[in-house]
Amino acid sequence: MADYPRPLPVPTPETQAFWDGCLAGELRLQKCDACAHTYFPPRDFCPACSGRKVTTFKASGKASLYSYVINHRPRPDFGTAPHSIAVVTLAEGPRMMTNIIDCPQTPEALQLDMALEVAFEKASETIALPKFRPVKG
Amino acid sequence: MKQKSVAIVGAAETTNMGKIPNQSVIGLHADAALNAMRDAGLTAKDIDGVATAGESPVELAHYLGITPTWADGTSVGGCSFMLHVRHAAAAINAGLCKTVLITHAESGKSRVGARKFGRDPASQMGQFEVPFGVTSPPTMFTIPVLRYMKETGTTLEDLATVAVIQREWAAKNPRASYRDPITVDDVLNSSMIAWPFTKLMCCLVTDGGGALILTSAERAKDFPQKPVYIIGTGECVETPTVSQMEDFTTSKAFRVSGKKAFDEAGIKHADVDHLMIYDAFAHLPLYGLEDLGFCKRGEAAAFIRERNTAIGGKLPLNTNGGGLSYMHSGMYGMYALQESVRQMRGLAPAQVPGAKISVAHGVGGMFAASGTIIFSNEAP
């Protein structure tokens, strides 16, 4: 873990709760107290209505595959094997960038709209990255 | 604001194009600027407004010996120069300055005096995209396309056809980097960069630059070149991270910017004789044709396949060969503007006969920003 070769996020005060959640094994989103809009990335106000009262909650971790590429020329710190770079739509609505893991990194295996679930990959003592894998069955 | 009162009176690219290891970024800015000043019959002492992106307008002004009363450093990626044209037109109309120089240059290939790549790991992109391998344009700009293809029925062959037809235009341009004909199979069989994008669906990486000089339409008649009038402008920005784009099948920034420009110009799509759409990757012209309103949703691929944008077609598109075949130093918007100006002057290598209205549409970042400029060679 200590020599995880890839660039890692540096949390800011506005995003710390999200990254703390990943380390604790939960995907945290925020919802506006006033207009009920659920959003990502994290910030301490609602981007839909500018309200300052928002609540952080544990999301389901369920998602579907919105779009992706398979990078055949990764930067050296991301290894040499082709790997997916994907955007998923969370069950709660927001989208996020991730990688699809635990399946072949091929167009045949990666079908748009397939069901996914979050899986956290611990990268350092303070950071775990939210990745997604196909839902079995 | 009345936009119809400003014109381009100077326009030029760098003396050389492609691989230029003997000039730095700021040196290329100066080369393009001096060529544009010569084109307009001016020197630095005649310029009182400057705008550039990438470099600071302070560095540009001092390097060239200009003391401006107006400066714009808007830097939103490759369409920044469209925004500069729009801002400069407003500034000239407001009396903030009389003669504006806009420059672009990059040492994209040789990296002489170029800034280092990299994202702050605490930025939105640094936290929420880079850790997943989103490290360069081929892994950012490309991500929406599979969703677009699924929703519209667009095929890989359609994407390849964009590159094939632009190469046909490039063949007529002596300054184009790639001029040899290619086929759909050549494009599909070129090396895989990021599925579904092969190498020939991705833009070039070159060195070069360009510069524009703007002044009021009233003064423009006294300059040596045929004035090219700015009749419509638009701009918009959406998101710093491609994952947060509202809809992967259409760009909000494109739609807003394009509509602003068309409304301001008061023209119909059928009035447009020539079109430039910034093509960093082969899908950009498809999004552009639909989001600007030239095609209905999902119909751009067929429009290109039926050769409407090819030589002899009703809507000549990316007539310099585009970022895919002409050149791409990093922020290509300047070259789209240069080709529109050449077409309006009647001096383009692949000149569209009788063209009177040209639209130059740019993208910045990865669908992050957009700027649209509509030109005419007839005095408004």
Q: Express each pLDDT in B197-232 by its tens digit.
A: 999 999 999 999 999 999 999 999 999 999 999 999
Q: Where are the beta strands (DSSP E) in chain B?
A: 6-13, 49-52, 70-72, 100-107, 192-195, 197-198, 207-216, 228-237, 274-277, 357-364, 369-376
pLDDT at site B215: 98
pLDDT at site A90: 98
Residue B164 contacts residue B187 (beta carbons within 8 Å): yes
Diameter of chain A measured on Cα atoms: 47
pLDDT at site B299: 98
B199 and B210 in a common domain? no
Residue B13 within a domain: yes
pTM value is: 0.96
pLDDT confidence band for B4 (50 / 70 / 90): low
pLDDT at site B118: 74
The ipTM is 0.95
Interface A–B counts its CB contacts (< 8 A) at: 106
Chain A residues within 8 angstroms (CB to CB) of chain B: 6-12, 15, 41, 66-75, 78, 82-83, 85-87, 95-99, 107, 112, 123, 129
Closest approach of A26 to chain B, Cα-based (Å): 16
Q: For residue B130, give the chain A residue with the closest CA.
A: A7
What's the total number of domains in chain A? 1
Chain A residues lying within 8 Å of B135, measured CB to CB? 75, 78
B102 and B196 in a common domain? no
* Phi–psi pair at B148, nearest 5 degrees: -60, -45
Q: Express each pLDDT in A26-40 by its tens digit.
A: 999 999 999 999 999
What's the token pair of residue B313?
């077609």
- Picking from A15, A41, A85, the nearest residue to B139 by CB comes out as A85
pLDDT confidence band for B67 (50 / 70 / 90): very high
Residue B125 within a domain: no
CB contact under 8 Å between B138 and A78, yes or no, is no
Q: Express each pLDDT in B5-45 by its tens digit.
A: 899 999 999 999 999 999 999 999 999 999 999 999 999 99
Residue B115 CB neighbour total at 10 angstroms? 12
What's the token pair of residue A124?
């350092």
Chain B residues lying within 8 Å of A112, measured CB to CB? 146-147, 150
B106 and B11 in a common domain? yes
Residue B203 contacts residue B325 (beta carbons within 8 Å): no
Domain assignment of residue B215, given as a range: 3-113+206-230
pLDDT at site B185: 98
**For the domain that residue B316 is a member of, what is the CATH number?**
3.40.47.10
Alpha-carbon distance of A27 to A9, in angstroms, equals 16
Closest approach of A133 to chain B, Cα-based (Å): 14
Q: Which of A119, A48, A59, A45 is nearest to A92 (CA)?
A: A59
